[in-house]
């Protein structure tokens, strides 16, 4: 069974390159004819994070030809690199389960208890949100989930001053985008100060050894949140500013950058391969959403793994397989989206499928 194979061969599966996560779909994927030797990596090297980059396996005669293909995002620490390679390895071979939390239903385990009580399993990924300036609470729950061996993803609903929550992300905006994105202005300094609020929290997670699937400015191309109201060019500039600030100033090597499109998936909003690790779409339409998946493929080809970063009703394994919709993970939204939009018998079947990876089946990082 696929899941058993993944469990037994996790060390092999995570050998997908940090540079190119392709599954031979063709856009930037190197063909066998372009490679003159294979990389040899031992299990001990995988466990210690000593494996070499794929670009070291290329023939010296192909170096200049493949220089553009070999561009990579920021260097990641050993644990983060292992998690990223594992995610890459899931493309077309399995799907990692995920669930967004709520914190207002009497227990911060509300969704996770519901899933376990109905399936006997926990999701592999826990979704959190720095909304309402809950940096301490989110970090505490992230560290607890990390200790269980799980994967953490964090988004951030906030106003244009990078504070408060959902209403503010809908109802605020940057008054002058040009000044806000121009270094040396008071508006730019204010924006950096706001961005740094989450950076400081992410540094705490870095120091605790926690890797984060960082999903800022999600649904940017939808037009409803302030970070999308300035248009695609301003959004791309802002994304790159945050990426540079977090990577080069704050030295956050524990982040896997997730570029989360809405269900529209407009390509001119894409920041570029050098600034993104995972690309995804979300949709609350039932089914596998193969059209959204194909839209993302049209933007990034096989250069990045593709996730279903928000959904309501979880697509069935049969739907995913028959439509060749190779999301690397799904993440169901909180409260009624998991409890009311998913039939309990379907939920149990999905979480116990050999194709779906749950918390107990993740490799040791």
Residues classed as catalytic: 219, 310
> In whole angstroms, what is the distance from residue 207 CA to residue 214 CA?
16
Distance of CA 271 to the CA centre of its chain: 15
- Residue from 164, 152, 310, 180 nearest 242 by CA: 180
> In whole angstroms, what is the distance from residue 278 CA to residue 272 CA?
11
Largest CA distance in the chain: 62
Q: How does DSSP classify residue 29? A: P
Q: What are phi and psi of 339, to 5 degrees?
A: -85, -35
Beta strands in 284-326 (DSSP E): 306-311
The conformational region for residue 311 under phi > 0 = left, psi -120 to 50 = alpha, else beta, is: beta
- Residue from 55, 258, 276 nearest 156 by CA: 258
> In whole angstroms, what is the distance from residue 18 CA to residue 204 CA?
24
* Per-residue tokens: 213: 């699937």
Quickly list DSSP for 316-342: PHHHHHHTT---SBEEE-STHHHHTSS
């Amino acid at each position: 069974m696929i899941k058993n194979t993944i469990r037994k061969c996790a060390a092999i599966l995570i050998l997908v390159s940090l540079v190119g996560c392709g599954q031979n779909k063709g856009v930037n994927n190197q063909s066998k004819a372009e490679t003159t030797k294979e990389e040899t990596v031992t299990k001990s090297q995988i466990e210690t994070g000593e494996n070499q980059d794929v670009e070291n396996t290329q023939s010296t005669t192909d170096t200049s030809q493949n220089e553009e293909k070999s561009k990579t995002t920021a260097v990641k620490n050993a644990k983060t690199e292992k998690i990223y390679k594992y995610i890459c390895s899931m493309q077309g071979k399995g799907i990692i389960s995920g669930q967004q939390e709520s914190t207002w239903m009497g227990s911060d385990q509300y969704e996770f208890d519901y899933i376990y009580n109905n399936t006997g399993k926990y999701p592999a990924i826990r979704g959190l949100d720095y909304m309402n300036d809950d940096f301490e609470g989110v970090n505490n729950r992230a560290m607890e989930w990390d200790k269980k061996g799980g994967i953490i993803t964090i988004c951030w609903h906030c106003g244009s001053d990078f504070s408060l929550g959902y209403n503010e992300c809908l109802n605020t905006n940057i008054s002058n985008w040009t000044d806000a994105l121009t270094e040396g202005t008071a508006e730019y300094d204010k924006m950096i100060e706001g961005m740094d609020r989450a950076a400081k929290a992410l540094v705490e997670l870095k120091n605790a050894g926690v890797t984060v699937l960082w999903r800022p400015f999600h649904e940017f191309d939808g037009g409803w949140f302030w970070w999308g109201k300035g248009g695609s060019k301003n959004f791309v500039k802002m994304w790159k500013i945050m990426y540079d600030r977090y990577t080069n100033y704050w030295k956050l090597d524990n982040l896997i950058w997730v570029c989360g499109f809405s269900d529209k998936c407009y390509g001119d909003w894409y920041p570029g391969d050098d600034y993104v690790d995972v690309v995804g779409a979300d949709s609350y339409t039932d089914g596998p959403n193969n059209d959204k998946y194909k839209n993302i493929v049209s933007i990034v080809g096989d250069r990045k793994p593709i996730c279903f970063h928000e959904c309501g009703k979880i697509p069935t394994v049969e739907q995913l397989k028959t439509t060749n919709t190779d999301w690397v993970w799904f993440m169901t939204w909180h409260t009624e989206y998991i409890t009311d939009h998913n039939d309990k018998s379907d939920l149990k079947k999905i979480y116990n499928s050999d194709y779906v990876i749950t918390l107990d089946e993740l490799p040791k990082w």
